[in-house]
Amino acid sequence: DLFGTPAAAAPAPPSHVRIARVQLEGAAAMELDYAIPAHLKDEIVVGSRVMVPLQNRRMNAVVLELLDDSPHRGRLKEIASFVAKRPMFTPGLLKLARWIAEYYLVSVHTVLRTMLPQAVRDKPGSFVMDSHLRLLREPPPEEFEKLRHKAPMQARVLDILRSCRGEATLSQIRRDLPRAASILKPLLKAGWITRSEVRVERDPFQDEAFLPTQALTFTPEQQAAYARVSAALDTSGQTRPILLHGITGSGKTEVYLQAIARVLERGGTALVLVPEIALTPQTIERFKARFSDRSDRIAVLHSHLSDGERHDEWFKIHEDRADIVIGARSAIFAPLERLGIIIVDEEHEPSFKQDETPRYHARDVAVVRGGIEKCVVLLGSATPSLESFENAANGKYELLRLMQRTDGRTLPLIRIVDMRMERRKGTGTSVANAGILSEKLRAAITSRLEKKEQTILFLNRRGFNTSMACLACGETIQCQDCSIPMTLHKHENRLVCHVCGSRRLPPSKCPFCHEPGLKLAGFGTERVETVVREVFPHARIARVDTDTIQRKNQLRDLLRDFRAQKLDLIIGTQMIAKGLDFPNVTLVGVLNADLALNLPDFRAAERTLQLLVQVAGRAGRGEVKGEVVVQTYAPHSPAVQFSRHNDFEGFAQQELEQRRAFHYPPYTHVVILASRGKHQTMAEFALQTLHRRLLEGLPEDVLIGEPAPCAMAKAHGQFRYQLLLRAAKIRPLCRHIQQVLQSTSLPADVIVTWDVDPVSL
Ligand code: ADP
Ligand code: ZN
């Protein structure tokens, strides 16, 4: 049962009793009606977590609605008890859950599960407790002396308490006296100390201090943008979402900060979403520093927190002890009340889309939540998604622009290097690094090293060589479970699959034709590092990718060294593309701009432009003008050309024409139906069956493709097929898909998934 069906059970309550419609938690995704017993009638509200009887069991459930009547009235069982008095879901979040369920074709139950962090779901209220000990009075001196002889540990506890002004927690005392807990009783009994239980917050920012910052005086552009945001904040009731299109360094964050300050002044709360990868300590620090007078009222939610920290941060919001929440995707479900503003920074980022069920897009959910909570929604980006840009163009969103950097400097100079020419010349660079470092880039790095300025080299691909192919038969060595070429990681001498992580020794001859001539092709960051070290033997170099950075602190330390100019050059993947601000970096090299461009996706050009603009934003943030060198085999592609002139709007216009002509988003919605399974024929058959059923009674404007193997036809040992549907109107299409899914039985060992508004194909 995919979507849950209402059902109900026995005994008869008196007629005046109200009824609660609840959503069961746990495996059964059902909505049921229960009578509210008299003793709970004033306490149960929408969102309460309750215990209900079901058959012979008791189950947890969430109250979705309070009703005066039910089709099953007279046969309803009663709610047994409260699980938690305070509702786990605000009324706004429950409404939002219903919207998400309907839009993304999932059950409300699944959405409610997603809305709570796992630690909160599994063990709500599992706080770390500690004993707080206080010295009430000291024993008279002679008694103290006796104690020192008779019970030295007890005397020691009193001494410690004396030395910390009469109070300490048990865990503090245990640092000196590990067995302290066992000897407290006599001290309590004698009336010398008291003990009370306290909660210990697991605070991710414990021991960190933040230097307060003051609001900056706005530039005229910022002032104009802020005035519009502030006018929206003053409007009671619904306002249009605002798209803040501002180039890197134009001071978007300052606008966010002052908008939040205004919301707080008026007693509201603020929610800030940032892509996980940009949620660096520096980002959080900026907020903590500006609101340092209430930095304990800032909650943070992201995946680097421990379960315990996440639990406590969530409860901090839940118990109304936070009024600013900063987080990644799932923070959109933070149970804040009195929401005044939701800010989505880097709104174009594909990582706002969840890649498992429910496949929601946090930016779109933010817009809907804003509508429900009647608060301001502010989307910011240097390269807005074409969806949001079109919404601004057609007036659904308000568009605000920041086109100048706050420091008045011009954007970095962008040079395009045509790598096809570089190949032909074949000079300067040795054969080993042909196609990796162009002459232009090499010269640019040399001059930075001479001037003691810093360089970032960017390549979104790990490993040494990206493929190993046979010169005789042309076969490429692929992962056996995933249909992609395996990447050579030279340091560990293994071929690695970047999808499933499986590893194998590089073979010495072709596994297909058994000829020995295997050729390595393509390059990743590992090989770039080798080449750069070879060419610049005296430069201080580091590589930043998931192979070299295993722990969170490693990245922080490395970036700190880079900032302190203990390194001249770093080579990295997208780990270094976002949000980093190094004043001494005057050169950024993009080693292969075509990686994103060659993706089989209608968004390939959009992604390339976003990446180039993003990476270019890392150059020239300080006193000296920056330079960006972009190496590409497609120098004339629109993404490369428009990014060169930092002309986002020109790009958007041209790209939108294409999208319109070929019926792609934002002019249509896409839904992908996908199947996967161990048996190829079964996986394909499942999708063919659905395809056939979908054709019957297909709503009018729907474009439907044929089932086809995914770009990665096999992953993790499962064969994968997909079917693309497009329609200008999403609702009729989704209703049709839902009907077909519900009424079609599919082979048991095939998994069918669907993705509404996917961000990649
Ligand atoms: P964005 O988020 O658009 O990339 P930031 O908000 O990070 O831009 O601002 C870039 C830099 O400019 C930051 O160092 C910030 O402190 C500074 N800045 C922002 N607004 C102003 C202002 N009005 N006056 C001076 N400096 C500013
Ligand atoms: Zn694999």
Give the pLDDT band (50/70/90) at residue 7: very low
The tens digit of pLDDT for each residue in 205-246 reads 766 677 788 999 999 999 999 999 999 999 977 889 999 999
Tell me, in angstroms, the distance from the centre of ligand 2 to residue 350's CA: 23
Q: Which residue matches tokens 């120098």?
A: 635
* Closest residue to atom 10 of ligand 1, CA basis: 249
Q: Where does the pLDDT of residue 270 fall: very low under 50, low under 70, confident under 90, or very high at 90 and above?
A: very high
* 497 annotated as ligand-binding: yes
The ligand 1 atom at the shortest distance from the C-alpha of residue 382 is 3
Q: Please state the atom number of ligand 1 nearest to the C-alpha of residue 246.
A: 3
Q: How far is the CA of 692 from the centre of ligand 1 (A)?
A: 55
- 724 DSSP assignment: E
The whole-number pLDDT of residue 653 equals 96
Closest ligand (CA of 411) = 1
* For ligand 1, mutation pick of 254, 343, 563 (most atoms within 8 Å of CB): 254
**Protein residue with least CA distance to atom 9, ligand 1:** 251
Ligand 1 midpoint to CA 251 (Å): 4
For residue 38, the 8-state DSSP code is G
Task: Indicate which atom in ligand 1 lies nearest the CA of residue 252.
Answer: 3
Instruction: Tell me the mean pLDDT in the region 458-475.
Output: 84
Say how many Å lie between the CA of residue 717 and the centre of ligand 2: 8
Average pLDDT over residues 72-97: 86
pLDDT value for 26: 67
Cβ-contact 639, 603 below 8 angstroms: no
Q: Identify the bridge partners of residue 194 per DSSP, sorted by sequence position.
A: 134
Question: From atom 20 of ligand 1, which residue's Cα is the shortest distance away?
Answer: 251
Which ligand is closest in space to the CA of residue 501? 2
Structure tokens that stand for 236 in this block: 């009671």
**How far, in Å, CA of 258 to CA of 241, rounded?**
18
* Residue 455 confidence (pLDDT): 95
Residue in 379, 406, 409, 614 to alter for ligand 1 test, most ligand atoms within 8 A of Cβ: 406
Q: How many CB atoms lie within 10 A of CB 644?
A: 17
Q: What is the DSSP string of 59-123?
A: EEEEEEEEES--TTTTSPPBP-EEEESS-SS-HHHHHHHHHHHHHTT--HHHHHHHHS-HHHHHS
Give pLDDT tens digits for 514-527. Answer: 888 888 888 889 99
Cα(292) to centroid(ligand 1), Å: 19
Closest protein CA for atom 11 of ligand 1: 249
Cis before 358 (ω within 30)? yes
Q: Each residue of 301-312: pLDDT tens digit?
A: 988 888 888 999
Site to substitute for ligand 1 among 253, 347, 404, 411, most atoms within 8 A of C-beta: 253
Judge whether residue 429 has pLDDT over 70.
no
Q: Whose CA is nearest to atom 26 of ligand 1?
A: 406
For 206, other C-beta atoms within 10 Å of its C-beta total 8
What mean pLDDT do residues 713-741 have?
94
List the one residue out of 495, 503, 499, 496 whose CA is nearest residue 482.
499
Res 593: pLDDT: 87
Residue 479 annotated as binding site: yes
Q: How far apart are CA 695 and CA 730, in angstroms?
A: 16
Q: What is the mean pLDDT of the chain?
A: 88
The reply, when asked if residue 164 is annotated as ligand binding, is no
Cα 217 to Cα 131, 156, 616: the distances in Å are 47, 56, 26
pLDDT at 14: 47
Preceding amide of 281 cis, omega within 30: no
Q: Look at residue 430 and tell me whether its pLDDT is greater than 70.
A: no
510 annotated among ligand-binding-site residues: yes
Q: Report residue 10's pLDDT band, with 50, 70 and 90 as the boundaries.
A: very low
First-to-last alpha carbon distance for the chain, in angstroms, is 28
pLDDT digits (tens, 9 = 90+) for 274-298: 998 778 778 888 999 999 888 889 9
Give 3-state DSSP helix, strand, coil % of the chain, rounded to 5. 35, 25, 40
**Confidence (pLDDT) at 17:** 60
User: Cα(335) to centroid of ligand 2, in Å?
Assistant: 39
- Separation CA 352–CA 348 (nearest Å): 8
Q: Whose CA is nearest to atom 18 of ligand 1?
A: 251
pLDDT grade, residue 433 (50/70/90)?
low
Structure tokens at 527: 């090989």
The answer to whether the annotation marks 470 as part of a ligand binding site is: yes
Ligand found nearest the CA of 403: 1
Quick one: which of 649, 248, 253, 614 has its CA closest to 410?
248
Say if residues 283 and 328 touch (Cβ distance below 8 Å).
Answer: no
pLDDT higher than threshold 50 for residue 377: yes
Query: Relative to the alpha carbon of 718, which ligand is closest?
Result: 2
482 annotated ligand-binding residue: yes
Residue 432 has pLDDT above 70, yes or no: no
Residue 481: nearest ligand to its CA?
Answer: 2
CA of 711 from ligand 2 middle (Å) equals: 14
| Ligand 1 atom closest to the CA of 256, numbered from 1 | 6
Higher pLDDT, 102 or 484: 102
**Residue 53 region by backbone torsions, left for phi larger than 0, else alpha for psi between -120 and 50, else beta:** beta
Distance from the alpha carbon of residue 211 to the mean position of ligand 1, in angstroms: 17
Task: Give residue 511's pLDDT band: very low, low, confident or very high (50, 70, 90).
Answer: confident
Annotate 262-296 with DSSP letters as a single string: HHHHTT-EEEEE--GGG--HHHHHHHHHHTGGGGG
Whether 634 contacts 446, CB under 8 Å: no
Pocket of ligand 1 (CB under 6 A): 216-219, 222, 246, 248-254, 406
Atom of ligand 1 nearest to the CA of 248: 4
| Distance separating alpha carbons of residues 652 and 675, to the nearest angstrom | 33
Residue 428 pLDDT exceeds 90: no
pLDDT in tens, 46-59: 888 888 998 888 88
**Distance from the alpha carbon of residue 250 to the mean position of ligand 1, in angstroms:** 6
The residue ranking higher by pLDDT, 300 or 599, is 300
- Cα of 248 to ligand 1 centre, how many Å? 9
